[in-house]
Structure 1
Amino acid sequence: MAEYEAIEREYVESLEMQGIAFGERAGADASARRRARVSALVKKGVRSLNGGASLSCGFLSSACRACVGDCGSRTFYINLKCHRGCYFCFNPNQVDYERHLREDAPWRKAFEDFRAEVPVVTHVALTGGEPLLVKDKALDFLAMVHEEEPQAHVRLYTSGAFFDEDFARQASALGLDEIRFSVKLDEGDASVKEVLAALTLAREFIPSVMVEMPVIPGQEEAMRGLLRRLDELEIDGVNLLEFCFPLHNWGEFAKRGFRIKNPPFEVLYNYQYAGALPVEGSDEACLDLLEFAMDEGLSLGVHYCTLANKNIDAVLQVNRRYDLDPALYELGEDGFFHVAKVFDQDVAPVRAALASAGAPYLEDGDDGSIAFHARWTSVAERAGAVPARSVLTIEESNGVPRLRELKLAG
C-alpha cells in the first residue's frame, strides 16, 4: 500500500514541478465523508449511478443513462473549429487536434465503422468545436444517422450561437431528439441572454432541451440563479459537469486562484478522457447545487456528471470485453476489477481457512500473496488476517490483454 501511495505522491509532485498547484492532500476519511454526503442526497430522492459518480434528480436523458459502458453510444464531431476561446477547453487534447482545426474529420467513415463495431446503435451525438459553424454539414450528419439508424437517439451540443429557427426546423425534421446548450457565465449578461433565447426557441422544435456546463468554483450564487431561470423557461434538464484542468493553459487557472484536487483520482491511472484533472471545490459545489434543486422543488432535471463518471466509461469499454473468473474477480461500479488479497504471515492461515470453506483462491508468485473474491473477506478476518483490496484493469498491447494492478487499499 505504501508503494502505491508513493506513486500517487510522485505523480502529484511531478505536476507541481511544472507549476501546477494542488490543494492540501485529503485525509483518509475524505472518501467516507463524500459517501455519507451522497447517501444523504439519496435519502432525499437523488438517483445514484456508477457508485455515486452520476447523481441526478428529475429528468435524466436516456443518453446519460446509456453513457457509461454502453458500446451502442458514441459521440462524433465534424471538426474542432470554434469561435470561442474558453480557457478550460479540453479539445486541444483530442487526437489530431491541429489537423481537425484546419480540416474535417472523416465523420462519415467513423460512423460506418461504429455501426459495424456494435450490435445495436442506441445513441449518437454530434459535438465540436462548434458544429453550427458548419450548419450544412451538421444537417448532413443528422440526415445520415436518420437514414441509416432511424431508431437511434440523436443529440447535438452547441454554444447556442448561430442557432436559428431555420436550423431548428430542419434538425427536427431529421430526427434530432435532444439539444444541449452550454452557458458561459463569465462571458457576461449579454452572452447568457443570447443562449437563453436559443433555449427558448429550441423548445418549440426539439423534444428535449438541456443545458450542459462545468460548475466553476466561485460561481455558485450565479448558478443558483441560472437554475431558477432555466426552471422558469421549462427546460428539461441541466447536466452539471465537474470543472477540470485540461493539462494546458495553467496560467489562466492560476490567476483565478484554482487548485487541483489532491489526490486527483480515487484510483490513479492514465485515463483517456480529455478533461484531465479535477479542480478543487467543483465537486462540492455540484453536490450543493443538486441539493439546492431538490430543496427548491425545481421541476427541471439536474444531473451531476463527475470526472470519475467520464473515466469509468473509458475503463469499462475495455474491461467489459473480458470475462474474468467471477469466483475470484468482481467488476465494480467504478469500472475496475476488484479482488481481496493477503500477504506474508497471513497467507498460510488464510489459505487453510479458504480451503476449509471451499473458497477458490489464486497464488501470486510475484508478491507472495493469495487473492480471493471479496465475499470471503470475513473468512480471512476470522483467520486473523488483514485483507487488502486490490484494484485491477485489463490493458491491451498489440491485441494482447494483460491484467494490471493499480492500487491496494485497506
Structure 2
Amino acid sequence: MAPNDSAHSTEAPEGLAAGRRKASRYLVPLVVAGVAAGTIGLVPALADSGDPDLPEITAQELIEKIAASDTEQLSGTMKITTDLGLPALDGLAGSLAGAGGGEGSSADPQARLTELASGTHTLRIAADGPDRQKISLVRDSDEYSLIHNGDEVWGYDSASNEVFHAEEDGKGGSGHDGAAEKRADDLPTTPKDFADEVLKASKGTTSITVGGTAKVAGRDAYKLVVKPEQKGSTVGSVTIAVDARTGTPLKFTLTPSSGGKAVVDAGFTTVDFSRPAASTFDFTPPKGAKVTEADESADEQRHAGEEFEKGLADFAGPQVIGEGWTSVAKIEAPGGADAGAAQKGDAPAEAQQFLDALGDKVTGKFGQGTVFSTRLVNALMTEDGTVYVGAVTKDALVKAANEDK
C-alpha cells in the first residue's frame, strides 16, 4: 500500500511527551535536510531490493516518528559517495595535518575526515549513547578510526601508526542563564510539536512529502522527500529513508536541480540496533606509535588564533541575502572595497590568470566578477573582493549581487 503523502495534523500519541533536551537532540535528522543546501553530509548508495508494502503514513506522522525515535545504540557499515565535481581529496589529509607551521598529525580528525568531501568511502560505525561512538574509515589495506569513549577522544591512522589524543574537560557550558532557559522553553517537547514546527518553517519554501517505500540494509523504510519550492536553488531534492520500525534515518540522498547522479548519496549497507560490546570503544596506542596530545601545540595554536583574530578585526561576518533555499551569503573583504581591490591587485598575475581560468566571467550592477561553480555550491567573487556564495544557480547568484547594489 502506497504511503499517503499529505501532511495533515494529527494528535500526539499518548505517552510521547519528552524532555526538552531529548527533543532538541531529535532536531538533527530534519535539520540536515534543511541545511543540506549549503553543506555536505555523510553517506551513500545502496540499491533498493524491492519496495515493501507498508501501512499508509502522512508526512507529518513520519516526521513525528523520527522525533519519537529513541535509538541510541547501533552498529553497522555505511558507504558515502560525494560528487561535487571536485578532484578526490584522499591525498590532502597529510597536507592539512602539517598546515600552519606545525608538524601536525595524520591522525588528527580535522585533517583526516576531509577525505569524505569527495569520492566513495566505506565506514564502520558504532554508537552506545552520547558518551561512546566509533567511526572507522576503511581503505584497502589500512583504516583510520575516531573513537569517543567517555571524556577521551582518540584518532588512529594505521597507515602511519600515528595517534591523536584529546581529553574533554567536562566543563561544557550548560547555559543556566535566563536567555538559555528561554531558548529551551521554545523547543518542541513532543513529536507532534516537532512536526508542527518543521512543517510551519517549510511553508512557502519547501515541499515535504512521503515518496513511497524502500528496502535499506535489509530493513523496511519510508522515504521522506524534501524539495525546494523556490526557483534558483541548486538542490533538486533531499530524500531520507526512515526505518519503519524504529524511526531511525537509514539513508540520505541529495540530488541537484541540474539532474544527473546524486551530489551526496549516503546510507547503511548493514545495521544492527543492539548494544555494541563495550570493548568496541576501548583503545590503547599500539607499540611504537607516535602519540600527539591535543594540547601539545596549544601555545602555537593560541598564537595562530590571535593572529587570525587580528586579521579579522574589521570583518563583520557574512550578511545573508534572501531566505530559504535561495539565500546567499555576502562576505566582504576586511577593510572594505578599497582593501579588497588592493588585495586583488597585489596577487601575482599568473595566480590571477589561473583563478580566472577556473571560473566564468560575469558582469552586472556590482561591476565585474568571476563565478566559481560546483554541482551544489556556487561562489561569485567581484573585482572589489566581495564574495557571494550559496547553493543557488549562477543566474540567481548574479541576481542577488545586483540586488545588493
TM tier, smaller: under 0.3
Question: If the length of structure 2 is used for normalisation, what is the TM-score?
Answer: 0.24
Write 1 or 2 for the structure with the bigger share of helix: 1
Question: If the length of structure 1 is used for normalisation, what is the TM-score?
Answer: 0.24
Write 1 or 2 for the structure with the bigger share of strand: 2
- Greater relative contact order: 1 or 2 (C-alpha under 8 angstroms, separation 6 or more)? 2
